[in-house]
Amino acid sequence: MQLKKVLIFILPLIIFFQGSSQDIESLVAKGNQLYSDGNYEKAIQTWEELTESGYEAAPIYYNLGNAYFKSNKIAPAILNYERAKILAPHDKNINYNLELAQTYIVDKIDELPEVFYLRWYNNIVQRFSSNTWAIITIIAFVIFLVFFSIYLYAKSYSSKKTAFWFSTIFLLIWLCAFAFFWSGNKLVTDNNKAIVFSPSVTVLSSPDRSGTELFVIHEGTKVTVIDELNEWTEILLSSGTKGWLLSSSIEKI
């Protein structure tokens, strides 16, 4: 009777998730066909329907970026390429198309050089996806437990010594992998970057229309969000310049 009750509870869940997977595959295929037929607007609608339902994948954002680019909508193209890059930072096609789309941006902003150790750390974090770092973290921890158990229960001194050093090594690997996983996951979930969507935006010194006009930025420019107040957002450019603009003029990555 217990098994029957469990099956009654689980089977609907299995059917539900199978149905959801089939719906996703159907929408992806539909979008691909529309894109192949040159119907970019319909392809965009189809893929946006996927993302709005909570489905996230680098290929979907990459396809959206391509469709928007083909439709001459540079800001949405850059937005989706950037979202794809977060999920697949070393994908050559994503990076190439993003760089191509960025050549259409009016603003050419010189970036402040990143501190070398932060650049190295970020390069390591982005070497793999956060899911891959999670797998490495779990494997390293399991191996650490195996060697630590050998160290605790081994009778010979040589076995204890070998197990101690291996457990120490894998403990360090586990700690590093966990740090990389945490940083990679934070990059995906707590991203504070945004893309300017308005043709041109005047950035002010304060969050009100009476603020001093500091500079003008244009559609497609990437900014960092550092604060929000009512309908206003304080942004920071890669050059180190900052100011306030209307929140409606940007879209968060």
Of 70-79, 124-133, 173-182, 213-222, the one with minimum mean pLDDT is 124-133
pTM beyond 0.85: no
pLDDT at 231 over 90: yes
In this predicted structure, the answer to whether residue 64 has a pLDDT above a threshold of 80 is yes
Note whether 78 and 64 are within 8 A (CB).
no
- Which CA distances in Å does 159 have to 147, 148, 171? 10, 11, 18
Identify the domain containing residue 244 by its residue range: 193-252
Q: Which of the listed ranges 72-81, 146-155, 232-241 does the model predict with the highest average pLDDT?
A: 72-81
Structure tokens at 1: 């009777």
- Assess whether 97 and 138 both reside in one domain: no
Residue 239 has pLDDT above 90, yes or no: no
Per-residue confidence at 17, pLDDT binned at 50, 70, 90? very low
Shared domain for 198 and 181, answered yes or no, is no
> In angstroms, rounded to a whole number, what is the distance separating the alpha carbons of residues 78 and 68?
9
User: Which domain-ending residue is among 189, 212, 239?
Assistant: 189
Contacts of 182 (CB under 8 A, 6+ apart): none
pLDDT score of 24 more than 90: no
Q: Report the pLDDT value the prediction gives residue 190, as an integer from 0 to 100.
A: 67
Task: Over range 111-120, report the average pLDDT.
Answer: 74
Quick check: is 109 in a domain? no
Residues 197, 184 share a domain: no
Number of neighbours of residue 111 by Cβ within 10 angstroms: 9
Q: Looking at residue 229, which CATH number applies to its domain?
A: 2.30.30.40
In this structure, the answer to whether residues 94 and 150 fall within a common structural domain is no
Give yes or no: residues 88 and 14 share one domain.
Answer: yes
The enclosing domain of 96 has a CATH number of: 1.25.40.10
